Structure 1
Amino acid sequence: MEFTSEQRKFINDFIVEIKNGDAAIFAGAGLSASNGFVDWKGLLKDLAEELELDVNKEHDLIGLAQYHFNRFKRGKINNKIINEFTTLKQYSENHKLLSQIGIGTFWTTNYDQLIERTLEADGKTVEKKIRNEDFSRNIKKKDAIVYKMHGDKDSPDEAVLIKDDYETYQDKKELFSTALRGDLLSKTFLFIGFSFDDPNLEYILGRIKVLLKDNTPTHYCFFKEVSESDFVSQEDYLYAKVKQELKIEDLRRYGIHSILIQQYSDITEILREIQTRLKRNHIFISGAAHTYEPFTEERAVELIHKLSYQLAEKKYKIISGYGLGIGSIVINGALDYKFQSNYKSLDDLLILRPFPQIQSGKKSIQERWTDYRNEIISQAGIAIFMFGNKLDKNGQTLLSNGMREEFDICLKHNVIPIPIGITGSISKELWNDVINNHLELCLNDDFLRDCFTKIGEDISNEKIINNVVGIIDRLQNL
């Protein structure tokens, strides 16, 4: 997908917010629609027919729900919520991407449980706020918090749906309003699948505007651009186009900037691009060295240490499997930067994953290593390969077949490999493989091609580091 300048600017800006821990998601019914869950009209269609009304002719759907309650009370509405939002349990690609890009705050008006289930499926600890009493409890070391401001399918009696619920919301669920005001002031929200017709949100946004006047924070939302092919007549198309433009303009009053898309699948592509770009901030270092030939040990240690230091200095997160003759030096380079700069946390600079050395369980140690490599490398977006040899049981120096496997796993997971060919051993073979068979990894960029070529030539440590870091820096913005 070719992104528009507006979409690319949003991607760049929202990535910064995610890295700073200041990004949040507000999910409306549209996020779950692709899973087969009904929207508001679908939810109320049968109820409208019982009232001898046509849901397609009604604009005040909250009022429609209230009419049904007035005549039939809450029972049928509750059954409708339970039945409609229990049938499907499989999350969408968008749910999965939102879980994986590292956002820790989710707000939703949806009754389904797809957001929290997706987060939990990714191994994350999730705290849910559904009722007022949930605010009195806090889960320590949580990865994400999900605010379900309109309730949950498992408690339909408390779901916000009819006009009575909205009119009493500020009193009955004041804690949700207070928490949302705080997040809207301190975080950058991305609204997905949201129509902005919810009176609760409109009230809260209005209060923030009154307090801050024109200094409202920046938020974003997706809007599918009105297309002429969606309408029978030119007149209807032009009317819808004008109305959408007015809606977009009105949202700017609250600091909400609209990102136009041509089709809903564009949202998935934008989220996937954000995920890819964020993963490129994680650098896997693959290396093993019984001998550092053609380098001297002194030169090899200097290269590994300074490269790791520079990656840490640029705030890239290093992932290392603690390879022989490489891993300890990588750690030293990252530690050197941490202590010289008083950087707050080593965990933000380095993920260390030593390989298991003793076989246990049903799997062989080789099978365990393959699983382990897949798990580690899938967390990265870029991988650096250096040296790559080992000593076998007969005392012979062999090329590292483990590094070859890691290279193949990189290609499988769309992790861009950067073999430093000049370091020799398996890295030289992998560099030749990239140059001869995988130049598409350079993304048709002349600067990247030049840098990839140079790291296979006889150049100084300083130039090796400059070219490797240059490749990584360049890939952040492509």
Structure 2
Amino acid sequence: MSMNEQTFIREFSQKLYDGFGSVFVGSGVSKQSGLPDWYELIQPMVKSKLNIDITRNDDLILFAQYLMNYSGGNRGPLIDNIRQKLRRRYETNPYHQALTWMNNTSLWTTNYDTLLEQAFNELYMVEVKTNDDVIARASRTSSVEIVKMHGCIERSNQDEIVITQEDYEDFFVKRPAISQRLRMDLLHKSFLFVGYSYGDPDTHNILVEARRLSKNAPREHFMIQKLEQDSDKKTRQQFWVNNLRRIGIECLLVNDFPDITRILFEIARRSRGPSIYITGSHLNENNSDFQTRVGHLLAEKTNSIVLDGQSTGASRHVISSFMERILLLHGDAYARIKTFPNPYAAHENLSNNRDLLPVLRQWRADPLKAAQVVLAFDGGMGTELEVETAISLGCFIIPVTIDTVGSSSDFLTKNKKIRDKLQETCPEYLTKAESLQLEPEDVIECIQKVIHQ
């Protein structure tokens, strides 16, 4: 029996939230940006050099081997041809955006192109690993790791690109470190395979390992695909999906590509769990009683996880009162609070230093990627930057408007995305926020609606 959509989303989102999930990205993701797929990469060369008309059902890896054999064992012409096609300027697409929003620090891909790095580099410190020399190194600075198991068109030399039948056959021998890392991740993480179609040659080595490992310590994996429309292809696809289930991969079939996009964004939202980030000025102390009450209610009325960015002011009032009430209720403060570094916290004189804003944006990407909700009290340039970053990462912004003048009121009046989301999910809250009639209980009610929607 196939897993339904809601169960699929819930189960994989929970894996990500618990830190035991990852994503395997296939060529279908890049295809949405206009890049050629496997067939389109080699079909013109096969026709011009071998005078053979191939189809998508042919063994494309074998024909890549034929092309290399035709060149006397020289990989150069094949690799150079692919480089020319992939080095053109392509833009990232909604699939990439959804992946950057997921609460995930490690991705694998069989793609040669650089669109994944392009998408993540906009906000995160990224480390790309393409060969055995770098796979074992632990980075102290990157917040996202991308493992390109078949090489990279920009970073890899010709011998490191996995493309021919010989390359696939020798993969586990010639790339022992990447192979071992693949085994360990397949054993200890649940993967979502996205951008792969039935019979995709890029899945060969992955499925070989998944099948072998499933006999010893099965870990459930997930795949999402567009349902084939042609009758024969649909039958073939269903047999392939049944075979995937045998080795622990649950495949969700959807009607069209927009369905995949929608599901990826929903997984990204739910992967953050009931997490809240609080931002607001360290200079405005006028509303500390309101903020203290919000902290108490968060502890009493919700199961929220508060993400502490080590800021003073509004967030400190909320978090301190939250922790106080958790302890009085004999709760587990360590499980309810997660702390992240803040460059402004090093010294109070740094709090208004504009030169640190780029650093703050980069450092805030990690907690905001983990936050489903951002409570925004009135603040200055730091608060505005955090809200801007949160919006770019898909967080739900709840401005806490208490005064007529302040950034929280500006967020409501000047940002249509924030207003539209509130109107859809918390219309009563929006009405009260606009009329400056908010009570702490209203904030908690809105948070609960967002988290449980």
Tell me if both proteins adopt one fold, taking TM over 0.5 as the criterion: yes
- Native 8 Å contact 1:286 1:386 kept in 2: no
Pick closer, same or farther for the CA change 1:169–1:349 going to 2, 3 Å: closer
Question: Counterpart of 2:131 in structure 1: which amino acid?
Answer: R
1:96 has 2:97 as partner:
yes
Could you tell me whether the CA contact under 8 Å between 2:306 and 2:336 is conserved in 1? no
Contact 2:294–2:443 at 8 Å: present in 1 too? Answer: no
Alignment match, 2:205: 200
Give the number of aligned pairs: 412
Counterpart mapping for 1:388-407 below 5 A: 388=403, 399-407=404-412
* Mapping 1:286-365, distance limit 5 Å: 300=290, 303-310=293-300, 314-317=304-307, 326-336=314-324, 341-343=332-334, 346-348=337-339
The aligned residue for residue 51 of structure 2 is: 52
Q: Corresponding residue for 1:64?
A: 63
**Equivalent pair of 2:192/2:222 in contact (CA under 8 Å):** yes
Displacement of 1:153 in angstroms is 0.9
Within a 5 Å distance, the mapping from 1:363-442 to structure 2 comes to 368=381, 371-372=384-385, 374-375=387-388, 378=391, 380-383=395-398, 385=400, 387-388=402-403, 399-408=404-413, 411-413=416-418, 416=421, 438=423, 440-442=424-426
Deviation, 1:253, is: 0.9
TM-aligned CA distance change 1:221 to 1:145, over 3 Å: same
CA distance in 2, matches of 1:320, 1:29: 40
Partner in structure 2 of residue 128 of structure 1: 128
Question: Structure 1 residues 210 and 329, CA, compared in 2 at 3 Å: closer, same or farther?
Answer: closer
Q: Which amino acid in 2 is paired with 1:223? A: Q
Distance 1:176 1:328, change over 3 A: closer
Residue 250 of structure 2 corresponds to 257
Deviation at 1:55, TM superposition (A): 1.9
For structure 1, list consecutive stretches of 5 or more residues without a partner in the other structure: 228-236, 389-398, 418-437, 444-448
Partner of 2:452: 477
Structure 1 distance, partners of 2:271, 2:87, is 33
Quote the Cα distance in structure 2 between the aligned partners of 1:357 and 1:211: 54
What letter corresponds to residue 79 of structure 2 in structure 1?
N
Amino acid at match of 1:173: R
Distance in 1 separating the partners of 2:20 and 2:136 = 23
Partner of 1:248: 241
* Alignment partner of 1:21 out of 19, 22, 27: 19
Deviations 1:84-127 (A, max 9, x none): 221134222211220122211111111111112221122x2222
TM-score (norm 2): 0.77
Three-state SS of the structure 2 residue aligned to 1:220 is strand
- With the length of structure 1 as denominator, give the TM-score of the two structures: 0.74
2: CA distance, partners of 1:5 / 1:473: 27
Contact 1:129 / 1:148 at 8 angstroms: preserved in 2? Answer: yes
Task: Give the direction of change, closer, same or farther, for the CA distance of 1:402–1:372 in structure 2 (3 Å limit).
Answer: same
* Matched AA of 1:149: M
- Counterpart of 2:139 in structure 1 is 139
CA RMSD of aligned residues (A): 3.9
Relative to structure 2, which stretch is displaced further, 270-279 or 242-251? Answer: 270-279
Equivalent residue number for residue 156 of structure 1 = 158
SS at match of 1:116: helix
**Bigger RCO (CA 8 Å, 6+ sep):** 2
One-letter code of the match for 1:407? L
1:98 is matched by which residue type in structure 2? L
Between the aligned partners of 2:176 and 2:252, the Cα distance in structure 1 is 31
Q: Residue 364 of structure 2 corresponds to which residue in structure 1? A: none
The one-letter code matched in structure 2 to 1:247 is W
Q: Which amino acid aligns with 1:160?
A: V
Distance of 1:106 and 1:458 partners within structure 2: 45
The verdict on how the C-alpha distance between 1:414 and 1:219 changes in structure 2, with shifts beyond 3 A counting, is farther
Residues in 2 aligned to 1:119 and 1:78: alpha-carbon distance in whole angstroms: 26
How far residue 147 of structure 1 moved from its aligned partner, in angstroms, is 1.3
Greater C-alpha radius of gyration? 1
Instruction: State the 1:178 CA deviation.
Output: 1.4
Confirm or deny: 8 A CA contact 2:426 2:449 kept in the other structure: no
Aligned to 1:221, what secondary structure does the other structure show? strand
- Tell me by how many angstroms 1:51 deviates: 0.5
Q: Which residue of 2 aligns with 1:281?
A: 275
In structure 2, what is the equivalent of residue 392 of structure 1? Answer: none
Task: Give me the whole-angstrom Cα distance separating, in 2, the residues matched to 1:383 and 1:353.
Answer: 23
Do the aligned partners of residues 329 and 31 (structure 1) sit closer, same or farther apart at CA in structure 2, a change above 3 Å counting?
same
| 1:354-395 deviation digits (Å, cap 9, x = unpaired) | 99875868x9xx99478536425526414152633xxxxxxx
Amino acid at match of 2:175: K
Are the equivalent residues in 1 in contact too, given 2:221–2:249 (CA < 8 A)? yes
Match of 1:239 among 232, 238, 243: 232
Q: How much identity, in percent, do the aligned residues show?
A: 23
> How has the CA–CA distance of structure 1 residues 84 and 270 changed in structure 2, closer, same or farther, with 3 Å as cutoff?
same
